[in-house]
Structure 1
């Protein structure tokens, strides 16, 4: 690794406007850790590479791995209709045609519940008109996943192709609970987090991030100015879809173990890497597997995630030689144009350059 180039790329993200950015890159036994900027804009307290962080939808890889562990145990059929297990949550024809696999790879056709949550539950930002009206009002609101699933199920079906939807992963959480008799969080912790030997990763037990962490600054496309801290938040609105807390070091350990076949079997890992074309939350066509997707190319596999005020991307090379995890304490910094589309921002280019540098091979191997 070129440590100087990684340092420069990390600093560029901070200079482009992110209050704090921290990362870890591993290549064999070599480890680079970096941090630039502040964890608190008021006190100026610096970020460090060891901070705990809300990792958003990176949680989906953990949840998918836990489901596949149950598949291996014979408790779940990957191509069994979800209505076989949860007929009350997914009744009728859709319950008989949507399989467990379709939930994991987002080809179920079940709509995202978030755009419907504001008018129905008077909660969350009104995503349909992109305003941040209720973020503060619902910091401490505890949501019932069954209610949220019903919103997604009751909305008009989407696709094909598949469309990325948190409704799918809330259903997977209910499926895990149904077949194990315990909570999804308990199962994911036992079968995935503990199996990977992660010491600083877990689901929140309240509204705070326990341990050293950064504040999380949400801009909501320039509508919150200056950006506001949302590190204190009840994450029941996403549950096993996006509520996990981790560190960049733990994420690297996890993805290395996963791609090495140490979390799920080699057969299950092959299923995870079988991709289909879906529409991302940003409206782009992407290739997506079972809670896992190629990052830039099929040499690296991982997942990204966002929460109010924070973002994460973590991935590992398929050959196990390199891993990287990058976290930022800001989100939705782009302004919107007249059509409501996010406009490019210098942070976007700086982050893309950091990702490329994190995935760069050394000159000795000429890769």
Structure 2
């Protein structure tokens, strides 16, 4: 049964996340032809400038869905084989036996076994993923660093493997998606960013979605406050940051309206074919960066709700900013949320993140937004 949008409940849920500790957040929820947009809190804690629902935002790993869709469009054109070894296309970047056994599909669904490169690119992150033992110092050191993607890939490929190619569970690793970007460049003859822009972003008619060309977000946007598990107190603004450390893995800038439009079209089979969409929705167990096992498809993952069907989408995080976009399988109900604070949980004496009121407030917002 259709859930009408309850603007009063949505406004209250949004405000509760702000009161729980997030400086500012904004969202768009759709149910059929009904649209609700809301914002709560501030975009700048110093000036008190408010957030608005039309602001641009760094959406982090939601970029992966765009990149996966671009690869699948090349699969449909016959330029890429989903189960072809990556060494067939990029023998220098992934040489030897792993290049012969890691397939394109394994890169998209994170079952390649390749390690995450971030601990090697950011020296203070050497203990990653033991986040309690890491330091945020490298974020300041590399705020304006321009990384070479092939060097980042080499860090991930030469690091100790998480496991054998195709092994379960897989490991969520940005190395996989930097390789997919190089694959797109190899077969298309243009940069991955240009290919994704022309064949995914423009195909979806998105007017406020783009890859950054430098460390700044162009247009109205919020500052992004990173707490790094209480080590940055007060949280520090990282809205100015060179996103070359992530590239087509997590660097996209978008709006909540554009995210809903994109995922709505994707789930309707208007970005990739219905058969490709079915491939995207075939999931395998993957260990996320939060060390939780999730079901992950080809750039998509599901969220189940109380009797209202399965939602598909992706979340994302950058230094100081986070986003989540979810669309019900029938495309009728959609939610996109952006927040300007990240890693608000502090660690206990054993190194485990402690519960925080923001967690419960966000869970309530997601429930109200997706299920009414």
TM-score, normalization: structure 1? 0.96
Describe the SS at the equivalent of 1:68: helix
Deviations 1:142-168 (A, max 9, x none): 001111111111111114310100000
Stretch moving more, 58-67 or 314-323: 314-323
Deviations 1:186-219 (A, max 9, x none): 0000110000000000000111000000000000
Report 1:216-227 matches (<5 A). Answer: 216-227=224-235
Deviations 1:73-132 (A, max 9, x none): 11000000000000000000000100000000000000111122234xxx7686352211
Report 1:305-320 matches (<5 A). Answer: 305-320=316-331
Over 3 Å counting, the alpha-carbon distance change for 1:218 and 1:125 in structure 2 is farther
Residue 157 of structure 1 corresponds to which residue in structure 2? Answer: 161
1:358 correspondence with 2:366: no
Residue 137 of structure 1 corresponds to which residue in structure 2? Answer: 141
Distance (whole Å) between structure 2 residues aligned to residue 296 and residue 115 of structure 1:
32
Residue 80 of structure 1 corresponds to which residue in structure 2? Answer: 84
Distance (whole Å) between structure 2 residues aligned to residue 222 and residue 289 of structure 1:
33
1:196 correspondence with 2:204: yes
Distance (whole Å) between structure 2 residues aligned to residue 86 and residue 354 of structure 1:
43
Aligned length: 358
Distance (whole Å) between structure 2 residues aligned to residue 312 and residue 78 of structure 1:
28
Structural RMSD (CA): 1.2
How far the C-alpha of 1:241 sits from its partner, in A, is: 0.2
Q: Is the 8 A contact 1:222 1:334 kept in 2?
A: yes
Describe the SS at the equivalent of 2:26: strand
How far the C-alpha of 1:315 sits from its partner, in A, is: 1.1
Q: Is the 8 A contact 2:125 2:135 kept in 1?
A: no
How far the C-alpha of 1:339 sits from its partner, in A, is: 2.5
Distance (whole Å) between structure 1 residues aligned to residue 105 and residue 8 of structure 2:
43
How far the C-alpha of 1:19 sits from its partner, in A, is: 0.1
Report 1:227-246 matches (<5 A). Answer: 227-246=235-254
Distance (whole Å) between structure 1 residues aligned to residue 242 and residue 352 of structure 2:
28
How far the C-alpha of 1:296 sits from its partner, in A, is: 3.1
Unaligned runs of 5+ in 1: 362-367
How far the C-alpha of 1:29 sits from its partner, in A, is: 0.7
Distance (whole Å) between structure 2 residues aligned to residue 118 and residue 255 of structure 1:
32
Deviations 1:242-296 (A, max 9, x none): 0000000000000000000000000000000000011111111110000000023
Residue 331 of structure 1 corresponds to which residue in structure 2? Answer: 342
Q: Where does structure 1 differ by over 4 angstroms across 4 or more consecutive aligned residues?
A: 123-126
Residue 255 of structure 1 corresponds to which residue in structure 2? Answer: 263
Report 1:242-321 matches (<5 A). Answer: 242-297=250-305, 299-321=310-332
Q: Is the 8 A contact 2:120 2:126 kept in 1?
A: no
Q: Is the 8 A contact 1:125 1:132 kept in 2?
A: no
Stretch moving more, 291-300 or 92-101: 291-300
Give the alignment partner of residue 100 of structure 1, picking from 104, 107, 115.
Answer: 104
Q: Is the 8 A contact 1:125 1:135 kept in 2?
A: no
Distance (whole Å) between structure 2 residues aligned to residue 174 and residue 81 of structure 1:
14
Describe the SS at the equivalent of 1:75: coil
Q: Is the 8 A contact 2:311 2:329 kept in 1?
A: yes
How far the C-alpha of 1:340 sits from its partner, in A, is: 1.9
Unaligned runs of 5+ in 2: none
TM-score, normalization: structure 2? 0.94
